[in-house]
């Protein structure tokens, strides 16, 4: 087997707004779409991100442990920029931190089972070549 994609759930009501943010702010392109899901890829990467529309009324209380993660030299500022974009589109968004090098963006009304994480590249320097 070869790794292909990761799937998470977005609230049906805010699905298109979050997809729009990923396209507008992070350059994701749409690979495939069905009535209930979308597959996206950020150019220069080789792992796809799938989002499924969800009608879940409650949110995962432990979702901080499930992330869609990005690398950034300025992770907090990068997430704050996304939070501003989301707020300008009518969604409550907040940025928190796991440490001084790892931050997360939560959009409670839209993210069902995950948060968006940004961390410094040094945290992903595992010293192996693939």
Reported as a single tens digit per residue, the pLDDT across 81-124 is 999 999 999 999 999 999 999 999 999 999 999 999 999 999 98
Task: Kindly report the number of other CB atoms within 10 A of residue 12's CB atom.
Answer: 15
The SS3 of residue 28 is coil
Does 72 fall in a domain? Answer: yes
What pTM, to 2 d.p., does this model score?
0.92
Q: Which residues have C-beta within 8 Å of that of residue 59, sequence separation ≥ 6?
A: 108, 111, 112, 113
In a domain, 17, yes or no: yes
- Cβ neighbours of residue 30 closer than 8 Å, sequence gap 6 or more: 19, 23, 38, 39, 40
Residues in the chain, overall count: 130
Confirm whether 129 is domain-assigned: no
Question: Is the pLDDT at 58 greater than 80, yes or no?
Answer: yes
Residue 102 is assigned to a structural domain of this protein: yes
Give the pLDDT band of residue 130 (cuts 50, 70, 90).
Answer: low
**Whether pLDDT at 78 is above 90:** yes
The pLDDT assigned to 2 comes to 84
Q: Give the number of domains in the chain.
A: 1
The CATH number of residue 40's host domain is 3.10.180.10
Q: Which residue has the tokens 């968004």?
A: 93
In this structure, what token pair is assigned to residue 84?
């501003």
Confidence (pLDDT) at 115: 97
Q: Identify the bridge partners of residue 71 per DSSP, sorted by sequence position.
A: 119
Check whether 125 has a pLDDT greater than 80. yes
Query: Which secondary-structure segment (H or E) carries 20?
Result: helix 15-26
pLDDT of residue 12: 96
**pLDDT single digits (tens) 6-27:** 999 999 999 999 999 999 999 9
User: 130 in a domain, yes or no?
Assistant: no
């Amino acid at each position: 087997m070869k790794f292909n994609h990761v799937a998470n759930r977005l609230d049906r009501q805010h699905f298109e707004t979050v997809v729009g943010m990923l396209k507008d702010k992070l350059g994701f392109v749409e690979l495939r779409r069905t009535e209930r899901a979308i597959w996206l890829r950020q150019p220069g990467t080789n792992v796809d991100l799938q989002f499924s529309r969800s009608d879940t009324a409650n949110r995962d209380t432990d979702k901080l442990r499930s992330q869609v993660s990005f690398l950034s030299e300025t992770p907090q500022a990068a997430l704050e920029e996304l939070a501003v974009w989301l707020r300008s589109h009518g969604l409550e968004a907040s940025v928190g931190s796991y440490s001084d090098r790892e931050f997360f963006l939560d959009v409670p009304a839209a993210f069902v089972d995950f948060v968006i994480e940004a961390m410094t590249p040094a945290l992903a320097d595992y010293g192996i070549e693939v």
